[in-house]
Structure 1
Amino acid sequence: MTSQVTVPLNPNQQAALIDFVYNLGAGNFRASTLLRLLNAGDFARAVRQFTLWDHADGRVLPGLLRRREAEAALFAAPI
């Protein structure tokens, strides 16, 4: 994961991304808009990408949505 991210991250951002990538898969992360926005320095738009990854088999899973919301909150939390 860290080899794909080209911008500095604080510990909260790094922890959120590690959790996200572990659950999502490195290949999906490499191709994601979240990574593209993050590397462009657009952290505000990147954090909103977390909750878009809340589907499985074409439907929203409440537990997955809660996980993504927690990851986004951690990513946005000050140190």
Structure 2
Amino acid sequence: MGLIKQFEGCKLSAYLCPAGIPTIGYGRTTGVKLGQTITQTQADAWVVDEYDAFEARVRRIVTVPLSANQLGALVSFAYNLGVGALASSTLLRLLNAGDYKGAAAQFARWNKAGGRVLTGLTKRRAAEAALFVKP
């Protein structure tokens, strides 16, 4: 959850993310409307709930054993891009084939929003890849 909090940041008023999606708290997009505000307590509760939900969905699509660090990196990735993006990715295909090193190299490819490379996404993917390969 550390990477999610670090890279999402927390905003208590709804805003448009770089992809143009209404977002609030630590990157929550479900049911968010511009003009909406929440408390820090709500943001903290939502990120825990969403992390748990994303972790369960990631576990369902990964067929190989994962370390806690690998799981954390994948949950951060899915939280940011959606489980569908992970499910259809070369990253997941390589991982499920047992190619952990190849999977780790795929994180860097996912650094764009709206067709543009974003520095924040480049840094996030590098941090996720580093966590993924950390014993």
* Structure 2 length-normalised TM: 0.57
Unaligned runs of 5+ in 2: 1-57
Q: Percent identity?
A: 59
Q: Say if 2:126 is the partner of 1:69.
A: yes
Structure 1: how far apart are the matches of 2:76 and 2:87?
Answer: 15
Which of the pair is proportionally richer in strand? 2
Which structure is larger by alpha-carbon Rg, 1 or 2?
2
| RCO higher in structure (CA 8 A, sep ≥6) | 1
Unmatched runs of 5 consecutive residues or more in structure 1: none
Matches within 5 A, 1:1-79: 1-78=58-135
Partner of residue 22, structure 2: none
Separation in structure 2 between the aligned mates of residue 73 and residue 28 of structure 1, nearest angstrom: 20
RMSD across aligned positions (CA): 0.6
What is the aligned partner in structure 1 of residue 11 from structure 2?
none
TM-score (ref. length: structure 1): 0.96
Matched residues, number: 78
Runs of 4+ in 1 over 4 A off after TM superposition: none
Aligned AA (2:99)? D
Question: How many Å apart are 1:58 and its aligned residue?
Answer: 1.3
